[in-house]
């Protein structure tokens, strides 16, 4: 079992953020695909790597015949995985600086035009 990721990619960070956004809740593969807008093979490869690192646990849902869909595999951060993910996301995706409105008549960056120019 590896302790951390071999490489940190944008899709990997997207998946980490999706898990962090839901707190300790479980997510299934399709929900991750929907939240991250990444392809299925990309998501499932990341989930496989996260499982090998011990960052997530997985379980199959119990379904009955009248559910009308295939059973889902649910994933959840381990305590250690959540902590390491938080550090990685904070390091590689710092919070964007809040947008500040320019007061009327303030200096504009060169090359930028106002709507009225």
Tell the residue number behind the tokens 């919070």, with chain if given.
95
Query: How many domains in the chain?
Result: 1
- Note the pLDDT of residue 40: 97
Residue 76 within any structural domain of the chain:
yes
Residue 98 within any structural domain of the chain:
no
Quote the Cα angle for 56-5-25, to 5°.
25
Tell the residue number behind the tokens 């119990």, with chain if given.
62
CA 60/CA 37 separation, integer angstroms:
23
- Note the pLDDT of residue 115: 53
Query: pLDDT averaged over consecutive 10-residue blocks of the chain (117 residues)?
Result: 84 97 96 97 97 97 86 96 96 69 48 49
Residue 16 within any structural domain of the chain:
yes
Residue 28 CB neighbour total at 10 angstroms: 15
Residue 58 belongs to domain with CATH number: 1.10.10.10
Residue 14 within any structural domain of the chain:
yes
| Residue 49 domain boundaries | 10-62+69-92
Using one digit for the tens of pLDDT, what is the confidence trace for 7-39?
999 999 999 999 999 999 999 999 999 999 999
Residue 117 within any structural domain of the chain:
no
Residue 49 within any structural domain of the chain:
yes
CA-closest candidate to residue 17, choices 30, 27, 2, 7: 27
The first and second tokens of residue 45, run together, are 């490869």
Residue 101 within any structural domain of the chain:
no
Three-state secondary structure call for residue 38: coil
Residue 4 within any structural domain of the chain:
no
């Amino acid at each position: 079992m590896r302790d951390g990721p071999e490489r940190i990619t944008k899709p990997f960070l997207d998946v980490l953020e999706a898990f962090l956004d839901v707190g300790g809740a479980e997510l299934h593969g399709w929900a991750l695909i929907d939240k991250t807008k990444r392809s299925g093979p990309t998501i499932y490869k990341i989930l496989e790597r996260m499982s090998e690192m011990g960052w997530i646990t997985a379980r199959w849902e119990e379904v009955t015949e009248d559910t009308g869909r295939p059973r889902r595999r649910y994933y959840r951060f381990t305590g250690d995985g959540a902590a390491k993910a938080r550090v990685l996301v904070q390091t590689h995706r710092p919070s964007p600086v809040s947008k500040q409105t320019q007061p009327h008549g303030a200096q504009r960056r060169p090359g930028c035009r106002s709507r009225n120019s």
